[in-house]
């Protein structure tokens, strides 16, 4: 197949959409498909197979979006035409202006469109301080329906996302497929680094943004009876780093803040004691899946706006959202029960292997796109 992948973001792999896009692109290329990529990544300009569009301006809101690290693409009809003409299918990562223009053009050429549902409304409203405005969140889902109506199929990384959208839009031709976990995330023997000696290491991997709720984790550790021995590691990058670092100054042990390469992250997860995922808003939580695939026991927020809570094996892997005292109690229990922690880690390795193997997930994505192509072929044959 010739597949055009359209993504508003495709730079550094520090967010879920970029990682999901690259996973699909590389898998399709590795299985003999030609992949054309539409994105605003200037560094890709001139590379074969890449079609670079400009960044979108939001006028007076530009400072707000820049402060939150948000960059979206603007459509260029000539570039889209070049990238889409002759393709067998178009897969679109996000339902914004670029994606909608690509979907409308592909539809006009009778080229099947599939799209990912990677964005919750709160991912938008959180940037403008309105994440709890339910009416606005619902209106956003109604608005993006103007994009998804062009799609033969919708890829939902979690069942939770499908339920959210179909509650507003009604039934869809949905495929629930995880974005998957790379096979490098598995238990390995690794020597603990000197900076972590004599400490309990707790990791959270996630973008430094408001909806990830880093402050809840900081407060939870500060209320733990082992606060003097806990080394927090915030593996990530993002616009709120300085703010989170300042907030963490109340802790007796200074947390580690930095972006880890994949190889470094594998080692970190295998030398840590616990993984905490405090995020309030989460579409899938691949970082949590990477941790539990490595045998690291997670403690996950039970936020009603987070899909990640579905990964809890039992209540000891959950804490009450925005409740640092409950988080502290769960942290202390797991630290005080190393044998149960080791056993639960083994359970999680098996749990992840059965559900989140990346190659299996990408094969399912390939199958979804092939279904779309076959549907168009069958439809055209009937029309003749």
pLDDT averaged per 10 residues in sequence order, the chain, 384 residues: 94 76 96 97 92 82 57 91 98 95 96 92 60 69 86 96 90 96 95 92 93 96 98 93 96 96 96 97 93 98 94 97 97 98 97 93 97 79 51
Query: Would residue 186 count as lying in a domain?
Result: no
Query: Would residue 52 count as lying in a domain?
Result: yes
Question: What is d(CA 38, CA 77) in angstroms, rounded to the nearest whole number?
Answer: 12
- What does the pLDDT read at residue 346? 97
Question: What is d(CA 144, CA 121) in angstroms, rounded to the nearest whole number?
Answer: 10
Query: Would residue 54 count as lying in a domain?
Result: yes
Beta strands in the chain (DSSP E): 2-6, 34-39, 50-52, 89-92, 113-116, 153-156, 174-176, 200-205, 230-235, 256-258, 274-277, 298-301, 318-319
Same domain, 7 and 132: yes
The DSSP symbol for 96 reads S
Query: Would residue 187 count as lying in a domain?
Result: no
Query: Would residue 185 count as lying in a domain?
Result: no
Question: What is d(CA 48, CA 64) in angstroms, rounded to the nearest whole number?
Answer: 34
Same domain, 116 and 215: no
Q: Could you please report the per-residue DSSP string of 275-343?
A: EEE--SSBS--HHHHHHHHTTPPEEEE--TTBGGGGG-SSGGGEE-TT-HHHHHHHHHHHHH-HHHHHH
Same domain, 201 and 161: no
- State how many domains the chain has: 2
Same domain, 161 and 52: yes
Closest CA to 299 of 319, 322, 271: 319
DSSP 3-state of 142: helix
Query: Would residue 140 count as lying in a domain?
Result: yes
* End-to-end CA gap in the chain: 23
- What does the pLDDT read at residue 255? 98
- What does the pLDDT read at residue 351? 95
Same domain, 119 and 247: no
The enclosing domain of 289 has a CATH number of 3.40.50.2000
The boundaries of the domain holding residue 203 are 194-355
Same domain, 351 and 361: no
Joined tokens for residue 350: 């098996």
- What does the pLDDT read at residue 123? 66
Query: Would residue 320 count as lying in a domain?
Result: yes
Same domain, 279 and 364: no
- What does the pLDDT read at residue 52? 96
**pTM, 2 dp:** 0.88
Same domain, 362 and 299: no
- What does the pLDDT read at residue 261? 93
- What does the pLDDT read at residue 382? 53
Same domain, 33 and 154: yes
Same domain, 363 and 254: no
**Residue 259 to residues 55, 286, 367, Cα–Cα distance (Å):** 25, 16, 34
Question: What is d(CA 34, CA 311) in angstroms, rounded to the nearest whole number?
Answer: 35
**Burial environment of residue 215 by CB neighbours within 10 A (0 to 12, 13 to 18, 19 or more):** middle
Same domain, 169 and 203: no
Query: Would residue 189 count as lying in a domain?
Result: no
- What does the pLDDT read at residue 355? 92
DSSP 3-state percent helix, strand, coil across the chain (nearest 5): 50, 15, 35
Question: What is d(CA 254, CA 257) in angstroms, rounded to the nearest whole number?
Answer: 9
Same domain, 279 and 217: yes
């Amino acid at each position: 197949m010739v597949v055009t992948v359209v993504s508003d973001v495709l730079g550094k792999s520090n967010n879920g959409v970029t990682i999901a896009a690259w996973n699909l692109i590389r898998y399709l290329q590795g299985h003999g498909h030609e992949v054309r990529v539409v994105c605003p990544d200037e560094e890709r300009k001139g590379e074969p197979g890449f079609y670079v569009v400009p960044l979108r301006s939001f006028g007076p809101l530009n400072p707000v979006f820049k402060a939150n690290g948000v960059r979206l693409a603007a459509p260029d009809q000539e570039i889209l035409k070049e990238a889409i003409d002759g393709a067998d299918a178009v897969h679109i990562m996000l339902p914004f202006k670029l994606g909608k223009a690509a979907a409308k053009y592909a539809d006009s050429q009778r080229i099947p469109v599939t799209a990912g549902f990677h964005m919750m409304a709160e991912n938008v409203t959180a940037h403008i301080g309105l994440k709890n405005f339910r009416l606005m969140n619902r209106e956003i889902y109604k608005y993006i329906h103007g994009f998804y109506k062009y799609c033969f199929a919708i890829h939902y990384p979690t069942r939770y996302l499908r339920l959210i959208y179909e509650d507003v839009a009604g039934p869809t031709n949905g495929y629930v497929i995880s974005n998957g976990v790379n096979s490098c995330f598995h238990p390995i023997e690794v020597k603990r680094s000197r900076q972590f000696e004599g400490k309990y290491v707790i990791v959270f991997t996630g973008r430094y943004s408001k909806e990830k709720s880093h402050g809840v984790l900081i407060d939870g550790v500060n209320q733990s009876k082992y606060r003097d021995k806990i080394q927090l590691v915030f593996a990530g990058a993002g616009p709120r780093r300085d703010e989170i670092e300042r907030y963490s100054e109340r802790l007796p042990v200074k947390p580690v803040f930095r972006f880890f390469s994949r190889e470094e992250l594998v080692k970190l997860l295998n030398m840590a004691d616990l993984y905490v995922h405090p995020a309030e808003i989460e579409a899938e939580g691949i970082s949590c899946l990477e941790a539990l695939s490595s045998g690291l026991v997670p403690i996950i927020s039970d936020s009603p706006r987070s899909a990640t809570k579905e990964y809890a094996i039992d209540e000891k892997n959950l804490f009450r959202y925005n409740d640092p005292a409950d988080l502290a109690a769960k942290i202390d229990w797991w630290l005080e029960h190393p044998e149960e922690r080791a056993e639960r880690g083994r359970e999680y390795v098996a749990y992840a292997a059965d559900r989140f193997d990346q190659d299996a997930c990408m094969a399912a994505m390939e199958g979804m796109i092939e279904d779309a192509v076959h549907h168009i072929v069958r439809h055209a044959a009937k029309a003749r």
